Amino acid sequence: DAKTTQPPSMDCAEGRAANLPCNHSTISGNEYVYWYRQIHSQGPQYIIHGLKNNETNEMASLIITEDRKSSTLILPHATLRDTAVYYCIVRDHGSSNTGKLIFGQGTTLQVKP
């Protein structure tokens, strides 16, 4: 079972920030928070990941709470092309870990004009 909880769907107006929440209350110290997205008829695409500090890249920002029990993915200026299913995944970076991803059902983000 996935270790994360996400709302099933969200809407966002084009040009506005999209804030996608994720709860991971049972996260352990070795586990990172990863975000992937899946646009219709494509494979999942990596967005960003972090451990405890906030992270930013060219696609998005990741805000992780101090207790690490939840996080928010922020798309600063959503476009219609950002319409997709967004998956929040926790993943252990330990050397014995195979790296397999355990997906939940994600959040379907609909960006509207």
C-alpha Rg value of the chain to the nearest Å = 14
Residue 76: Cβ within 10 Å count: 13
Sequence-separated (6 or more) residues with CB below 8 Å from residue 4: 22, 23, 24, 88, 89, 90, 104
Tell me how far, at minimum, the Cβ of 46 lies from other proteins, in Å: 5
Match 């939940």 to its residue by tokens. 104
| 99/113 with CB nearer other proteins | 99
User: What is the binding site for other proteins (CB under 8 A)?
Assistant: 2, 32, 41-46, 49, 85, 87, 91-95, 97-106
Tell me how far, at minimum, the Cβ of 39 lies from other proteins, in Å: 10
Report the amino acid identity of residue 85: V
Tell me how far, at minimum, the Cβ of 67 lies from other proteins, in Å: 22
Structure tokens at 103: 């997906």
| 40/113 with CB nearer other proteins | 40
| 42/53 with CB nearer other proteins | 42
